[in-house]
Structures are given as C-alpha cells and as structure tokens.
Structure 1
C-alpha cells in the first residue's frame, strides 16, 4: 500500500465517526459491512461481529492517540499483523481482517515517519481527522476557513467583551 493510500484509509477509518453531524458508519454491524465493501473491497459476508467490535475498538484507540489523549490503561485493542520479507529486502505488513488491514496502514505511516502528521481537529463540534501537510507540522485545524476561523472569531470576541 502506498503512503497516500495508507493516509486515505486511516483517515476514512478514523472519520467513520462524524462528530459534527452525529453519524457513525460503524453504528451497526451491517453499516460496518458496507464500509468494508466500499473502503476495503471486502465481501460483506466475511465480516463477523468480532471484526466489527475490533474495528470499533481500534477506531476509538486511534482517535484518542491521534488526538493526543494519553490512555491511563493499556491499549484497547491489539491487532496481529503478518510480516512479509522478500529476498530483495522488501518488507511489508498486511492483514486479512478489517482492523488488521487498517493497523497495517497505521504501521506503514509510523515506519515512514508520517504518524505525527495525523491529527484530530480540536474544535469540539468537529473533531475530524486530517493529515498535516505543513512543512513544520504546525497545522492545528482541519480547515482554517471553517474551524480555525470560528476559533479566532471566538477568541477575538472573548478579548473584546
């Protein structure tokens, strides 16, 4: 999986919970099956309740980790991955189940040094995951035009009043 594909997959996975409009693409097992068909190209019949529960746990853990929340407890989920090493030295991680595939993409981003570029918008009514492409990794908001502008307007209003 290429870096762009890994970023897209992880963000699609994290953003399957939409705080702004209150929707959860994993709310029901059937919804999760649809998501896996659309985003992973998997047959819905092979997705079990255990896969659904593991994916929800992984998503919650990733959202907390990306958002900078430190966990007081051990990770909520441990996901086994398969390591492939070819004679030419190429290393790849993969998985068969939905959470494993996403975890392999997360590992790929971490190994490439791109994990820190994944962030969660700090706006309470947004919290969308995004990839910080700024040179110094200082981007704070998912969109400066929307969430950043609202925060700046709120701060200005607080200073003036």
Structure 2
C-alpha cells in the first residue's frame, strides 16, 4: 500500500513510459483509496484532503530519496502527520504502534499510510525504501539487497541503462 501510494505519481520519462499522476483531483483520490482497499465504496474526498494527500506523498518520496543519501528527510512529514487522526495502540503481545483514530474516511486512510511508514521506521525497514537513482525514473522501491546498497528500481532497466550510458561515454564516439 505504501509503495503504491508513493508511486501513484509516475515520473518515468524513458522508453514507452510517460509521466502520469493517479491523484489528479478529489474524485481520483477517493477512487484510488477505494481501489486499494483503504476506504469503502461511495467515499468522497475534499480539496483539502487532496492537498494533504499530495503533500504527504511528496514528503514520503523526499524521505525515500534521503534514504539513498540525497539530502535531508522531509521536514514537512511530522507537520503533515499532525493533521491526521493517529493514536498510539498496543497489540496483544504488548508491542506499541500507531493506528488511525476517528476522522473522515479519507483522513483515516491517509493516517493508515503514515502509520505504516512510521512502523517501518521503528522496525528499521524504512531505510530500505529508496528512490531510483535514475533521474528519468524516480520510482520508489524496496532495497532487498543484504548490504542495503541498491540504487536502481530494476537492475535490468535503470541500472543497465546507466551502465550502458557510462560505458559509451567512456569509450567515446567510434
């Protein structure tokens, strides 16, 4: 769910890919949340909730880029979370967590996304959520490599294009 949310904007600009955004308006946000099982059919979203969702998505994308070493974490993220209905929870095993509190269906869904990101941070898995190093891609991916040094969403696509480009620059024109 978190990966789908941050990648609901597609900035890839190579091959047959064209940039697109799944969250183009309040109705599109509501449809996206329904399609991903975060809210029920008939849920609506407001312009304010759309703005919050877009800012949240950008802050999470920025945080993923920071995991790759590209700058600081999004300062906006804590402020955005403060606008969402979140509360502390404890599971039967005594583990603390966050869960959505009472709000609109849309803000509860956005709170669930933030709770997943915060839980991943506490568990140490958030550092593996990165932005592809290819400037014409910027897909958010989970770095499953043992040393956590992955740079590309796909070695076969972006990694190979980068290595081919570097090789061609190195050997020069023929």
**Residue 24 of structure 2 corresponds to which residue in structure 1?**
27
Question: Distance in 1 between the 2:73 and 2:119 partners?
Answer: 26
Q: Aligned pair count? A: 153
Offset, 1:101: 1.1
Q: How far is 1:51 from its partner?
A: 1.8
Normalising by structure 2, we get a TM-score of 0.80
Cα offset, 1:50, TM superposition: 2.1
1:18 aligns with 2:19: no
Structure 1 residue 67: Cα displacement = 0.8
Distance change >3 Å, CA 111–CA 74, structure 1 → 2: closer
Task: Give the secondary structure class of the aligned counterpart of 2:89.
Answer: strand
Aligned match of 1:108 in 114, 119, 122?
119
In 2, the alpha carbon distance for the partners of 1:71 and 1:130 equals: 18
Instruction: Identify which of 111, 128, 133 aligns with 1:117.
Output: 128
> Aligned-residue CA RMSD in angstroms?
2.0
The CA distance in 1 between the partners of 2:5 and 2:130, in whole Å, is 13
- Which runs of no fewer than 5 residues in structure 1 stay unpaired? 1-8
Is there any run of 5+ residues in structure 2 with no aligned partner, and where? Answer: 13-17, 102-106
Q: 1:36 aligns with which of 23, 33, 36?
A: 33
How far did residue 40 of structure 1 move? 3.4
Kindly report structure 1 stretches of 4+ aligned residues shifted beyond 3 Å.
69-74
1:3 maps to which residue?
Answer: none
Instruction: Find the partner of 2:147 among 130, 136, 153.
Output: 136
CA distance in 2 between counterparts of 1:34 and 1:92 reads 28
**8 Å Cα contact 2:59/2:74 also seen in 1:** no
Q: What displacement does 1:46 show? A: 4.3
Shift of the 136–24 alpha-carbon distance from structure 1 to 2, 3 Å rule, reads same
Q: Using the alignment, how far apart are the partners of 2:146 and 2:72 within structure 1?
A: 29
